[in-house]
């Protein structure tokens, strides 16, 4: 969405109760380059009215200019400029709270001592009961070392915490699972693997997040080989799932089946490698891959891909997916008529979708619509409910198909706020687990 590239502030203003005061303020902000969002009346008296006005600007410097001009409008006093994003993050966005109100000794004794001892002994005799009698069945670790955070790069684990909290908030809201952020203050692959393996008994699944490539590939594989709970690097597989979902709907728009298309992926980092692998799994044919790193090309070839170049992919592929982080990499003259281009780097794509369409693309989109929040809550819920030891490509493909089917007419993906979407993804993932015989006993959840 356009506002994801904007700086947002809330202007709290006191305006005199005379005709045109609000109009002059809005006109002044608009002429200075501001976009107006929601306007809320806070207090209204006989002579003045206080309003909160949400204002968007093209970056911090432009916002400072808007603040300056707002203070010059007659009959308007700028009381305060609030950063709602920072305010929302104060104190963090998540918390662990008791499910029971502990307001009597009777409840205390049931929740803790002496009653808890009986539960501990039952689990000691039959470890499978841990899913029935503890919160482990809905705990998911969200693990990062802070080396590849959003478009910010290596900013360290502490600076990554707001993103981890956001992931946990989304997971709880959309799937009911409790995401627990785990910040690892090390970049050493061996130490990361040992840490995640050591804490695995606390969780029913582990989501790896914002760990840089190529380290992330080794870390995920080594952890999954040593634990009996699902381990998923969301930057890889969550992104790949949503990309495939989007392309399934795009193929309906352009009228050419994805399986019959020549596909190229530019940028073979965490997301690009997983996108290429999943597209090959779906289409049953090789995918071209381009990257500046020779090691990435060799790794992609080992997965069955075909090493290529940007020029070859742009000149020969029907579908082009770019995840390079290089803004403006693709020039309009490189676009072939009829191509499908998903330019997914944020905040600035390799080519603006409008420019790609003007150059002849049949369809073009950027990374603001194709976001892994559409996939990971339901994928993890389905895997946890089915009690599987790992998440397979079949489960991810089932999630992709469900996401595609949930999109409204004329859209390539549904809204992430559609709670039914995440429930349906969970059911689809769990159903595949049951059909393939991957589930263990003690099924829990709502996928039936």
Given a cut of 70, whether residue 327 has pLDDT beyond it is yes
CB 10 within 8 A of CB 28: no
112 given a catalytic annotation:
yes
Given a cut of 60, whether residue 447 has pLDDT beyond it is no
Given a cut of 90, whether residue 1 has pLDDT beyond it is no
**β-sheet bridge partners, residue 44:** 49
69 Cβ contact list (under 8 Å, min separation 6): 28, 29, 32
Given a cut of 60, whether residue 11 has pLDDT beyond it is yes
Q: In what order do the strands lie in the sheet with 35-44?
A: 35-44, 48-57, 7-16, 76-82
134 Cβ contact list (under 8 Å, min separation 6): 123
Catalytic site residue from 100, 125, 167, 187 = 167
pLDDT at 5: 60
Please tell me the least confidently modeled range out of 4-13, 26-35, 112-121. 4-13
- State how far the Cα of 335 lies from the Cα of 360, in Å rounded to an integer: 7
Q: Which of 77, 235, 109 is nearest to 164 (CA)?
A: 235
pLDDT tens digits for 131-155? 999 999 999 999 999 999 977 899 9
Given a cut of 70, whether residue 317 has pLDDT beyond it is yes
Do 230-448 and 2-89 fall under one CATH topology?
no
CB 283 within 8 A of CB 259: yes
- State how far the Cα of 209 lies from the Cα of 271, in Å rounded to an integer: 12
Contacts within 8 Å (CB) and 24+ apart, 191-197: 192/143, 192/145, 192/219, 193/219, 193/222, 193/223, 193/226, 196/141, 196/143, 196/223, 196/227, 196/231, 197/223, 197/226, 197/227
- State how far the Cα of 67 lies from the Cα of 33, in Å rounded to an integer: 12
pLDDT at 441: 63
pLDDT at 361: 96
Given a cut of 90, whether residue 444 has pLDDT beyond it is no
Given a cut of 60, whether residue 445 has pLDDT beyond it is no
Tokens 């308007």 correspond to: 76
Show the 3-state SS of the chain: CHHHHCEEEEEEEEEECCCCHHHHHHHHHHHCCCEEEEEEEEEECCCEEEEEEEEEECCHHHHHHHHHHHCCCCCEEEEEEECHHHHHHCCCCCCCCCCCCCCCHHHHHHHCCCHHHHHHHHHHHCHHHHHHHCHHHHEEEEEECCCCECCCECCCHHHHHHHHHHHHHHHHHHHCCEEEEEECCCCCHHHHHHHHHHHHHHCCEEEECCCCCCHHHHHHHHHHHHCCCCEEEHHHHHHHHHHHHHHHHHHHHHCCCHHHCCEEEECCCHHHHHHHHHHHHHHCCCCEEECCCHHHHHHHHHCCCEECCHHHHHHHCCEEEECCCCCCCCCHHHCCCCCEEEECCCCCCCCCHHHHHHCCCCEEEECCCCCHHHCHHHHHHHHHHHCCCCCCHHHHHHHHHHHHHCCCCCCCCCCCCCHHHHHHHHHHHHHHHHHCCCCCCCCCCCCC
Q: How far is residue 328 from each of residues 325, 346, 353, 399, measured CA to CA in Å?
A: 9, 11, 11, 31
| Residue range 122-126: mean pLDDT, rounded | 96
CATH of 105-225, one of 3.40.50.10380, 3.40.50.300, 3.40.50.720, 3.30.200.20: 3.40.50.10380
CATH of 230-448, one of 3.30.1050.10, 3.90.1150.10, 3.65.10.10, 3.40.50.720: 3.40.50.720
Residue 355: pLDDT band with limits 50, 70, 90: very high
pLDDT at 373: 92
pLDDT tens digits for 237-287? 999 999 999 999 999 888 888 899 999 999 999 999 999 999 999 999 999
Homologous superfamily in CATH for domain 2-89:
ACT domain (3.30.70.260)
User: Higher pLDDT residue, 6 or 35?
Assistant: 35
Catalytic site residue from 112, 252, 436, 446 = 112
Given a cut of 70, whether residue 443 has pLDDT beyond it is no
Q: How far is residue 311 from each of residues 308, 315, 337, measured CA to CA in Å?
A: 8, 6, 15
pTM, whole model, 2 decimals?
0.87
- State how far the Cα of 324 lies from the Cα of 342, in Å rounded to an integer: 12
pLDDT tens digits for 207-230? 999 999 999 999 999 999 999 999
pLDDT tens digits for 386-409? 999 999 999 999 999 999 999 998
- State how far the Cα of 367 lies from the Cα of 350, in Å rounded to an integer: 10
- State how far the Cα of 143 lies from the Cα of 197, in Å rounded to an integer: 11
pLDDT at 442: 52
Q: What is the mean pLDDT of the chain?
A: 93
Of all residues in the chain, what percent carry a pLDDT higher than 90? 85
Q: How many CB atoms are closer than 10 A to CB 412?
A: 22
Q: Which two tokens stand for residue 379?
A: 């994928």
| Residue range 315-343: mean pLDDT, rounded | 95
Sign of CA dihedral 354, 357, 362, 366: negative
Domain positions in the chain are 2-89, 105-225, 230-448
């Amino acid at each position: 969405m356009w506002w994801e590239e904007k700086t947002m502030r809330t202007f709290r203003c006191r305006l005199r109760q005379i005709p045109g005061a609000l109009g002059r303020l809005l006109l002044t902000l608009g002429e200075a380059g501001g976009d107006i969002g929601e306007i809320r009346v806070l207090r209204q008296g006989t002579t003045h009215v206080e309003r909160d006005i949400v204002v968007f600007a093209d970056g911090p410097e432009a916002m400072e200019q808007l603040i300056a001009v707002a203070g010059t409008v007659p009959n308007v006093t700028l009381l305060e400029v609030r950063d709602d994003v920072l305010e929302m993050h104060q104190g963090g966005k998540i918390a662990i709270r008791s499910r029971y109100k502990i307001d009597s000794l009777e409840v205390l004794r049931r929740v803790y001592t002496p009653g808890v001892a009986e539960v501990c002994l039952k689990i000691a005799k039959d470890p499978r009961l841990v899913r029935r009698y503890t919160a482990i069945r809905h705990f998911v670790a969200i693990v990062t070392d802070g080396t590849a955070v959003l478009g910010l790069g290596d900013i360290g684990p502490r600076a990554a915490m707001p993103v981890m909290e956001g992931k946990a908030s989304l997971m709880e809201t959309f799937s009911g699972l409790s995401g627990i952020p785990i910040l690892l203050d090390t970049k050493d692959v061996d130490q990361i693997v040992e840490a995640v393996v050591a804490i695995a008994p606390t969780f029913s699944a582990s989501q790896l997040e914002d760990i840089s490539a190529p380290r992330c590939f080794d870390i995920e594989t080594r952890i999954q080989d040593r634990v009996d709970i699902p381990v998923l690097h969301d930057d890889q597989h969550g992104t790949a799932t949503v990309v495939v979902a989007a392309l399934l709907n795009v193929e309906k728009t352009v009228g050419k089946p994805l399986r019959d298309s020549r596909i190229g992926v530019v940028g073979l980092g965490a997301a690009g490698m997983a996108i290429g692998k999943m597209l090959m799994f779906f289409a049953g044919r090789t995918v071209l891959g381009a990257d500046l790193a020779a090691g990435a090309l060799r790794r992609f070839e080992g997965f069955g891909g075909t090493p290529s170049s940007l020029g070859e992919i742009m000149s020969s592929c029907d579908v082009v997916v770019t995840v390079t982080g290089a803004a403006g990499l693709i020039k309009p003259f490189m676009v072939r008529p009829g191509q499908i281009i998903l330019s997914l780097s944020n905040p600035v794509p390799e080519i603006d979708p409008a420019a790609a369409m003007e150059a002849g693309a049949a369809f073009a989109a950027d990374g603001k619509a194709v976001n892994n929040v559409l996939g990971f809550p339901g994928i993890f819920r389905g895997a946890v409910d089915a009690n599987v030891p790992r998440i397979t490509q079949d489960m991810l493909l089932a999630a992709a198909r469900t996401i595609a089917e949930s999109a409204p007419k004329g859209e390539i993906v549904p809204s992430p706020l559609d709670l039914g979407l995440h429930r349906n993804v969970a059911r689809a993932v769990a159903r595949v687990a049951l059909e393939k015989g991957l589930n263990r006993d003690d099924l829990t959840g709502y996928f039936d």
